[in-house]
Amino acid sequence: MAANPAARGAQLFEYLLHLADNGVVLAQRLGEWVGKGPVLEEDIASTNVALDLLGQARLWLAYAGEIEPRDGAPARSEDALAYFRDSGEFRNLLLVEQPNGNYADTIARQFLFDQWHVLLLGQLALSTDDRIAGIAAKAVKEVRYHVERSSDWVVRLGDGTDESHARMQAAIDALWMYTGEMFTVDATERALIDAGVAVDNESLFSPWQSSVRAVLDAATIVVPADSFMQGSRSRGGKQGIHTEHLSHLLAEMQVLPRSLPDARW
Amino acid sequence: MTVHADTHALAAIWRALGSVVDPEIPIVSIVELGIVRAVARECDGWVVTVTPTYSGCPATRVIEADIRAATGAAIGEDVRIVTALAPAWTTDWIAPEARRKLQEAGIAPPHATGNDAARVQPVTLHRRRAAVRCPRCGSLRTTELARFGSTACKAQYRCIDCLEPFDYFKPH
């Protein structure tokens, strides 16, 4: 069944915001480590990862701005979308907005996300939407490096000292409940999946689970039991329902352009 | 414009592009790096098609400004720059001459990737990688210090024989 163009545009816009906002928010979180990384190499690595995610987010946002149904109003730019939306309009996963915590928390968050992100992009590279496929094919090459690094660090900390092991286990335990959201499919996504545009997140669960378990096993980390928020009908970031952390993050990220909308570098 | 003049302008544009270097690795040109994908005459003028190396590469804007300046000086008119994302840039496009220059500058050139961007590879912990040759002493006994380096495209390595740290241009 062919969707009407305005409805399809609105669905695609939502989906592109989801892809973009994961990158915008996680890049902002990683940026908080700049100059404070535990070692110089890690300071550089987290900045590099942030830069990749931000670059990808710009591509998604630019596309979102072009296709957003605006009813005659001028199209929104990447910056307008990044700086002038409130938390309820963000479509990122709850996982990526969680605070940095200690370095095990940051690495655990990155690892759980990277393992999903690399699978998602690999599938999106086959999207029937050429623009999405092109961006994903480029991004997946970058994200392969991210997932290798975060997986290595999970093992290094998990199978490290008693202290680092305890912190990594605590980090995985605390973040685990946010992983269920990555495999949910809402009505917007369902329509796009049927059109071959979006990826069926449910299909990513099995490969994600086996990769994540293999790394956690090597890291001597116990895989947590599933808890609430793991159900396929759970709602969260993709519906604009966020944890309180996102508002604080956005306040810092958006304060300059909102105070001085015409500011130029 | 005549066909003859077009041919001259085309050659002049490629020469000009050959003088534009990557601002982060100023020993190799953007043509040698495979960033320039095409130069063509269209109805509204000359179009230079480029592809970014990494999505977030901060050099992209500088490179575009340098392309405008160099080509403008060469043919006396502005070119239009088009960014093409697909096919995605790969280090396999780096010219042999540029690989030699990287090596001489102390940057180990990238291994071949096989260029299959869409393939979903399982992420394993025990990855086998081709040994990276130390650009200073030629030893293959080298080790990775960090997956990420001073720019998006490089990793940090160290030579176990001569003990020098060096950059490795990541296969991408």
Per-residue pLDDT tens over the stretch A45-99: 999 999 999 999 999 999 999 999 999 999 999 999 999 999 999 999 999 999 9
Whether residue A13 has pLDDT greater than 60:
yes
CATH number listed for the domain at residues A5-259: 1.20.1260.10
Whether residue A165 has pLDDT greater than 90:
yes
Of all residues in chain A, the one with the smallest CA distance to B155 is: A45
pLDDT on residue A233? 65
Half-sphere exposure of A10 (CA within 13 A, CB side): 8
Best CA proximity match to A182, nearest among A167, A163, A162, A203: A203
Instruction: Name the residue among B89, B118, B148 with its Cβ closest to that of A122.
Output: B118
pLDDT on residue B149? 87
Distance from C-alpha of B108 to C-alpha of B159, rounded to nearest angstrom: 11
- pLDDT class for B110, splitting at 50, 70, 90? very high
DSSP-assigned beta bridge partners for residue B159: B142
pLDDT on residue A225? 87
Domains located in chain B, CATH noted: 3-83 (3.30.300.130), 96-169 (no CATH)
Contacting residues for A128 by C-beta, under 8 A, at least 6 apart:
A195, A196, A197
**What is the percentage of chain A residues whose pLDDT exceeds 70?**
97
- For A221-245, how does the pLDDT look when each residue is reduced to its tens digit (9 = 90+)? 999 987 766 666 678 999 999 999 9
Whether residue B117 has pLDDT greater than 50:
no
Q: What is the ipTM metric for this complex?
A: 0.84
**What is the percentage of chain B residues whose pLDDT exceeds 90?**
67
Cβ distance of B56 and A44 shorter than 8 Å: no
| Separation in Å, CA of A124 to nearest CA in chain B | 9
A178 neighbors A229 (Cβ within 8 angstroms): yes
N-term to C-term CA, chain B = 40
- pLDDT class for B55, splitting at 50, 70, 90? confident
- pTM, whole model, 2 decimals? 0.92
* Residue B49 contacts A where some CB pair is shorter than 8 Å: no
What mean pLDDT do residues A242-265 have?
93
Of all residues in chain A, the one with the smallest CA distance to B122 is: A211
**CB < 8 Å to B119, chain A:** 122
pLDDT, averaged across chain B: 89
Cβ distance of A141 and B117 shorter than 8 Å: yes
